[in-house]
Amino acid sequence: MNLIIDCGNTNLKYFVFKNQSLVFKNHFRWKEDWPLKIKKNFPDLKNVLLSDVTGKYRKVDVEKSFPKKKVYAVKALDFPFKTNYNYKNLGDDRIGLITAAINKFPKEDCLVIDAGSCLTFDLISSKSFHVGGLISAGLAMRFKSLNIFTSSLPLVNFEDIEMNIGHDTKDSIQTGILEGFIFEIKGQIEKFENKTPNLRVILTGGDAKYLYKRIKNSIFAEQEFLASGLNNLLKCNKL
């Protein structure tokens, strides 16, 4: 059994896999006693993989919490793909997503779209080559930026509602940000599809649930795509 620890910009989550099947997942706080619960409930745990995009959490701290388990950091492992990307700048999350795409859709050209704290796009060729990607502001970040960088616009919380045009400031922000977010994703999909026929488009991330019904393109959607990719990374290294 494998434990995947995913330290993102917004949430801390862990996932327990038995072979390739996800058997448990949960959010946690770093200073709580979550390792004790895991060790009690999953005594057959073998490997622990730490994925951290923040730089705040250390492998040595995980090793202290799981002293009898094999603990790995993402970039200490071999990847099942080659890349044009600057290796040092490629985040643990994107490494996991690329690995998931290659495992789920081998020998297919894939575009992985992750709608989380940031909006990222990664293009992977049918030969398991990471061509490169794009990074843009995520949905919550766009709402916050209007409030932070203006004098009078309020901080608006996103509401999952259908709206064509706003009739006050709040509704205008709701509509403007969501419509802009969707148009950006659709535009990037169209651009990549024009260059790469038969492209497999994968949509995942915390905000993906707001996008499935609004994006008409033929896409593969999986909420825990990142976690499965990180688990696959252990499999690729025969761990």
CA distance 175 to 171: 6
Catalytic annotation, pick one of 92, 93, 122, 207:
93
* Distance in angstroms (rounded) separating the CA atoms of residues 176 and 168: 12
**Cβ proximity of 74 and 62 under 8 Å:** no
- DSSP 3-state of 22: strand
Please say whether the beta carbons of 49 and 63 come within 8 A: no
In whole angstroms, give the CA distance from residue 238 to residue 16: 17
- In whole angstroms, give the CA distance from residue 135 to residue 117: 11
Task: Give 105's contacts (C-beta < 8 A, 6+ positions apart).
Answer: 200, 202, 220
Q: Clarify whether 44 is annotated catalytic.
A: no
Catalytic residue numbers? 93
